[in-house]
A and B are shown apart, each in its own frame.
Chain A
Amino acid sequence: MTDEPTSAPAEKSGFPGKGLIKGLGVTLKTMTRKAGTQQYPDVQPELPARSRGVIGLMESNCTVCMLCARECPDWCIYIDSHKETVEVPGAARARQRNVLDRFDIDFSLCMYCGICIEVCPFDALFWAPDFAYAEGDIRNLLHDRDRLGEHMAGVPAPPPHDPNGEPSKEESTAAKKGGAR
C-alpha cells in the first residue's frame, strides 16, 4: 500500500494486483493436489531399506571381539563374556572359544551413528528400520541380547550385487582356489 521503492522484478508485473491474483492461483492449485500428510498411526510409513531405526544383533556371528563396544562414541554397548574350552576330536589340543554372556545396547544413549555396524568384522550387527520402541521409562530403552536378536526380523535383505561391479572378495578367492585345484 505504501509507496516504497520495490525491487526490480515488480516493474515486470503487467497490471496492479497481479501478485494478489497469482497468490490466489497458488492456493487454488495446492488445494487440487494431493495433501502431503502421512497418516502415521493408521498407515505405516514406507521407509527406505537403509533406514537407521534400530540395531539388530545376529548372536551366532558375534565373536566378542569388543570392537563395537570400543568404537562406540557414547559407550552405550555393554558386553560380558567368558572363555570356554572346546575339545575338538582329532585336534592336537583343546581350542578356546568366547561365549557371549551379555550384549546390551542402551538406546537412550545411542546416537545412531552406525559406527558399531561399520566396524563389526563378522557381520553381527545390522540396521533395521523399526523405530516404534519408545518407552515410558528410560531404563526400558536398554535392549538386551534377546531383544536385539528380535530386531533381526526387521532387517531387509541385502541389495542384489551390481552385475557390472567387481565380484566380491569371497567369490574371487573361491574362484581362484577352485582354479588352482
Chain B
Amino acid sequence: MPVWLEIAIRVAGVFAAFLVLPLVVGQTEHKVMAHMQGRLGPMYAGRFHGWAQLIADGVKFVQKEDVAPASADRSVFRLAPAVALIPYLVAILVIPLGPNDLVGQPLDMGLFLVLAVVGVGIVAVLMAGWASANKYTLLGALRAAAQLLAYELPLVLAAASVAMAAGTLSLSGIVEAWRPWWLLWQLPAMGVFFLAGLAEIRRPPFDAPIADSELVFGYLTEYTGLRFALFLLAEYVGIVVIAALTTVLFLGGWKGPFADADLGWLWTLLKVGAVSFVVIWVRVTFPRLRVDQLQRFCWLGLVPVALAQLILTAAVKVAT
C-alpha cells in the first residue's frame, strides 16, 4: 500500500469517527435521557423512533442566519467554534482503536499530546465569551476558565498515575501494559479522571459555565446557526474523547474477554459506549454544582485523591 493511500485511509477513518460517534452519542443521549425521565424522546424524524433527529437538527442549524452581535469582535467570534473543535479532532487522531497500529497516528507521547490539546478548549471558551461582547457570555467564559484550570490538575495527575504504572506515554503502550488487576489498583485515578473529564467538557453536573438558569446560555448565548451547532458538536466530541481516554487509560482499551487481536476495535467501541452512557446517566441524575462547590470539590476532593493515588502507584511500582 503506498504511503499516501494509507494516510488518506487513516485520515478518512479519523474524520468518520469524528463525525459519526458524536451523533451516535447525541442520539443516545436524546433517547436515554427521555426514558430516564419517563418520556419517549424524538419519535418522528426518520420515521423509526426518531433516529434522524440530529440530522434534522443539523439541517435546521445550517438554514439559520449566521448572526454576529454588532459590537462583537467579529473575527474572534467566528474563529471560536473552530478552536473548540480542532483539539478534539487532534485527540481522536492519536487514540488507539485496536492493536497493531489501528490508530490514526501512532505517537510515542500520545498521552502528553492529548492532555495538552484538550486543554486548548479553554481558549475557545474564552474567545467565544469575550468576543460576544455580552455580560452573560463573559461571566460564563470566566467561570469556564476557572473551572477548566482547576480540573486540569486532577486530570493530569490521574493520567500521570497510569503513565507511571505503564512506564510509557504512548496510548497503545499503556493498553499493552494494562492488566485486569489495574482496575482495582487504579480505581481512584479512574474516578478522578472521569469526574475531572466531565468537568473538562463542561457536562452537567459541572455545567456552571453554561448554567442556563443563571447565565442564559453562558458563553454560547450569542451564537446561532452553524456556529452554535459546531459548539454543540464539540461538546459531544468531547464526550467521545473523554470516554475513549478513560477506556484506553483505565479500562484496558482493546483488551476484552476473548479475541483481542481480531475484535479489539469492538471492545474499544463497546467500552467507549458504556462510559458515554455513564456520562449521560450522570447528567440526567445530578443537579448542577454551584460555583463554590465546584472549586471545593476539585481542590479538596479530587486533587488529594489524585495525589494519594500517585503515591500508591509509585509505592507499588517500586515494590514490584
Expressed in whole angstroms, the Cα–Cα distance for A87 and B285 within the complex equals 79
B38, B40, B292, B297: the one contacting A39 at CB < 8 Å is B40
A31 touches B40 (CB 8 A): no
Expressed in whole angstroms, the Cα–Cα distance for A151 and B297 within the complex equals 64
Residues of A within 8 A of B (CB-CB), count: 15
Query: For the complex, is A37 an interface residue (Cβ under 8 Å from B)?
Result: yes
| Residues of chain A contacted by B40 (CB below 8 angstroms) | 35, 37, 39
Residues of B within 8 A of A (CB-CB), count: 20
Q: Which of A26, A27, A30, A39 has the most CB of B within 10 A?
A: A27
A33 touches B284 (CB 8 A): no
Q: Which of A2, A28, A31 has the most CB of B within 10 A?
A: A31
In chain B, residues 283-320, which have Cβ atoms closer than 8 Å to a Cβ of chain A?
Answer: 284-286, 289-290, 292-293, 296-297
In chain A, residues 45-93, which have Cβ atoms closer than 8 Å to a Cβ of chain B?
Answer: none
A1 touches B293 (CB 8 A): yes
In chain A, residues 22-38, which have Cβ atoms closer than 8 Å to a Cβ of chain B?
Answer: 23-24, 26-28, 30-31, 33, 35-37
Expressed in whole angstroms, the Cα–Cα distance for A175 and B37 within the complex equals 59
A1, A2, A28, A33: the one contacting B38 at CB < 8 Å is A33
B296 touches A27 (CB 8 A): no
Query: For the complex, is A20 an interface residue (Cβ under 8 Å from B)?
Result: yes
| Residues of chain B contacted by A35 (CB below 8 angstroms) | 34-35, 38-40
B286 touches A28 (CB 8 A): no
Expressed in whole angstroms, the Cα–Cα distance for A133 and B84 within the complex equals 50
Which residues from chain A sit less than 8 Å from chain B, CB to CB?
Answer: 1-2, 20, 23-24, 26-28, 30-31, 33, 35-37, 39
Which residues from chain B sit less than 8 Å from chain A, CB to CB?
Answer: 32, 34-40, 43, 281-282, 284-286, 289-290, 292-293, 296-297
A sample of 7 more A-B contacts (CB under 8 A), given A30-B36, A36-B38, is A24-B282, A27-B36, A27-B284, A27-B285, A35-B35, A35-B40, A39-B43
